[in-house]
Amino acid sequence: MPYKDLFPNDGSERLELEIEKKRFAEWKSKYDIELKKDKKTQFKKSLLFGLITVLVFSLVLILISGKLRFLGHDTEIAKAKINRTAKIHLGYGTYTQRIDYQFEYNGIIYSKTEKTIKLPRLKEGDHLKIKFSTRKPDRVEIIGYYKKERNKPKWGAYGFEVSSADSIIQLTPDSVIRINKTKPNSVP
Residues 103-120 have pLDDT tens digits of 998 888 999 888 877 777
Angle at 113 between CA 122 and CA 95, to 5 degrees: 50
- The whole-number pLDDT of residue 47 equals 93
Mean pLDDT rounded to a whole number for the chain = 75
Rounded to two decimals, the pTM is: 0.50
| Span of 88-92, 96-100, 111-115, 169-173 with lowest mean pLDDT | 169-173
Percentage of the chain exceeding pLDDT 70: 71
30: pLDDT strictly greater than 80: yes
Give me the mean pLDDT over the 9-29 stretch.
82
β-strand pairing of 166-171 with 140-148: antiparallel
71: pLDDT strictly greater than 70: yes
State the DSSP H helix or E strand holding residue 142, giving kind and residue range, or none if neither.
Answer: strand 140-148
- If you ran DSSP here, which 8-state letter would residue 73 be given? -
Give me the mean pLDDT over the 82-108 stretch.
86
- The whole-number pLDDT of residue 126 equals 84
137: pLDDT strictly greater than 60: yes
- The whole-number pLDDT of residue 179 equals 40
CB atoms within 10 A of CB 120: 9
List strand residue ranges (DSSP E) for 34-137, in order.
75-91, 94-105, 108-116, 127-133
- The whole-number pLDDT of residue 43 equals 92
pLDDT in tens, 149-164: 555 545 444 444 434 4
